[in-house]
Amino acid sequence: MRAVAALAAACCVAAGCSGQRATAPAAQAASPVPATEAFEYRRIVMGAECRLVLHAASQSTADAAARAAFERLAAIEESLSDWMPSSEVRSLPTEPGREVSVSPVLAEALVASIEISRASDGAFDPAIGALTKLWRAARRDGRVPSDAEQDACRARSGIDAVRFDARAATYAVTRPGIELDFGGIGQGIGADAALAVVREAGIASALVDLSGDIAVSEPPPGRSAWRIELDDPQHTVLELSDAAVTTSGDRFQHLDAPDAETGGTRRLSHILDPRTGRPLSTRTEVTVVAPTATEADAWATALSVLGPERGSEVLRARPRLAARWRREEIQPGGTGRISESITRGRESPRFP
């Protein structure tokens, strides 16, 4: 989800866990480690680039925290990835009759996913792995799956077929072919986990950017907030602290399919509506600001599916979330018109 970028002052690019530094204004820190310098790290993890910006007292402190954060992200990937053949998700039963224990990482992902699935009326669903694989192949091959293929995968999807006991941390399915896909929440989970690791290392001011899922803690020294620039024509800048932001849309991942009605093509998003098993066909980007990246990531997907009218109704019960829908409507002649809708809770940050 590369629709947001952090404007981190006084930071230099560094590879791996070998951070480079630049001086930043000194300020009294809220953690045991006085944050007087900024260090930046980049690494490919969870299938995308992850960038850390850490304000720490020394390079050795920042290096150790970054190393621990990347190790934590690798462990989450080993649990939640549907790409890695050896991942925990890939080892789960797909047929009824077998119950297994799951790791704390997977259990936490299931708890968060099920909660948001229920709260969104099923607009978010982690148990549509069969459908996401089908449409992933469709985008690669440039063809729309047949109705029979889509119906077969839809029959093998749905969180209603998952039996998860959060207290016992056990997992089973009640229909054959059920597969999990945490693509709509996994990177948010990872960003939150990485931020928690650097906090545990005593670093109060940090930013984690995992492919556009951005989580921040306290502001950099001498500043009132982190400045996050959205990838939109207005270059909207959000000022955030102890919060997260994610944008979800079809700009980078979609299938241009033939449109029988117009004789042209229509864009089919990589975002699926779990209730129909079909891709979204409205050109929509949704940006969500939330207390955690886990919430921002999953709700950006769910609100893309729900749309601004129903999505705004759902958000009324969530005062700490804010969302912006930007929809492009294609006019005759191929020109586009942008419509925008913003909904924010009474306790959430404001969109400019």
Helix locations, the chain, DSSP H = 59-80, 88-91, 104-119, 129-141, 147-155, 186-200, 293-315
Give the strand order in the sheet containing 100-101. 100-101, 170-173, 162-165
pLDDT band at 233 (very low <50, low <70, confident <90, very high): confident
Q: Return the pLDDT at 12.
A: 31
The count of other CB atoms within 10 Å of the CB of residue 59 is 16
Mean pLDDT across the stretch 137-152? 90
Residue percentage of the chain with pLDDT more than 70? 79
Q: 238 in the Ramachandran plot: left (φ > 0), alpha (ψ -120 to 50) or beta?
A: beta
- Which top CATH class is 88-173? mainly alpha
Q: Return the pLDDT at 23.
A: 29
Mean pLDDT across the stretch 174-199? 97
pLDDT band at 350 (very low <50, low <70, confident <90, very high): low
Taking the domains of the chain in order of start, what are their residue ranges? 4-81+185-242, 88-173, 246-344
**In this predicted model, what pLDDT tens digit does every residue of 171-182 receive, in sequence order?**
999 999 999 999
> Is residue 254's pLDDT more than 70?
no
Q: Return the pLDDT at 140.
A: 86
281 or 66, which is more confident?
66
Residue identified by tokens 């050109």 is 283
pLDDT band at 341 (very low <50, low <70, confident <90, very high): confident
Query: Model's pTM, two decimal places?
Result: 0.85
Average pLDDT, the chain: 85
> Is residue 321's pLDDT more than 70?
yes
**In this predicted model, what pLDDT tens digit does every residue of 92-143 receive, in sequence order?**
999 999 999 999 999 999 999 999 999 999 999 999 999 999 988 888 888 8
The count of other CB atoms within 10 Å of the CB of residue 44 is 10
Q: Return the pLDDT at 340.
A: 67
> Is residue 284's pLDDT more than 90?
no
Instruction: Write phi, then psi, for 11 (nearest 5 degrees).
Output: -125, 150
Closest CA to 202 of 31, 324, 40, 63: 31
d(CA 289, CA 274) in angstroms, rounded, equals 23
Tokens at residue 278, please? 């079909």
> Is residue 44's pLDDT more than 60?
yes
> Is residue 156's pLDDT more than 90?
yes
